[in-house]
Amino acid sequence: MNAAAAFDFSEQVVLVTGAGAGIGQGIAAAFHAARARVALGDLREAPLKRAAAALRDRVFAQTVDVRDEGSVTAFVAAAEKELGPVAIVVANAGIYPNTPVLEMDVAEWDRVMETNARGVFLTCRAAARSMVARGAPGKIITISSGAYASGRPGAAHYCASKAAVVMFTKVLAMELASARINVNCIAPGFVRVDSEVSPLTEEYVSTLTRGIPLGRAGTPADIADAALFLASPYADYVTGEVLGVNGGAMAGRAHLPLSTAAAQKKESTR
């Protein structure tokens, strides 16, 4: 189902970071299909240009380093000058290198935390300041990960940063409630994106997919559908929440067999 057809964001300006590829590109495309004006930001110029060219009209694109306060402020200001006041922001930009703690240097830790946590803070703050100054309601969506609640080897910095995003979202939701600004978080499970964005081994992919009750990896469109809902009037009474979009992966260990011989025998006779 094309969820964008069920929503109408005409005349609304949506700002998405990390929009050059992967989940961010999927979210930007979904809002554009729902008739929004969309501002795309990404650190990488080439994929950003490709993503913007695919949308063609009602779009603004600018490179942005979400770790840098001045860069984020300039991006939000330029987007509003070009498209109008931002009503919806999706703080999606993030990175996920894999390095065991004992092999990790401080520079890598800082780079992940600065991009994934500081970047969300700066993006949300800049957009919220604009909304509050105008006295306008708005919707802010952060992108965390199932990793905020379930660790994995090699991802200490990533998991820590995504846990930080969840708690930041909850506090910001409380602080902005009186301004009629809803703040919610999407926690994607495993999402299969272009190999340039996420160079995963097939062993990792197949092992991870076995633990998903719905039997498949997620897609950027699955995450985009959740973003459309949270940005819509249907979610006006939803704030400070974490919406898991993971095919049931966080429900438990779905890849395990039945735990007793009797149960296994009963299952095999059905």
Catalytic residues: 158
What is the Cα 194 distance to its own chain's centre? Answer: 16
SS3 59: strand
Closest CA to 83 of 15, 9, 181: 15
Distance in angstroms (rounded) separating the CA atoms of residues 32 and 263: 50
Which neighbouring-strand residues pair with 14? 38, 88
Provide the total of helices (H) and of strands (E) in the chain, helices listed first.
9, 7
SS3 114: helix
Q: Are strands 181-188 and 242-245 parallel, antiparallel or unpaired?
A: parallel
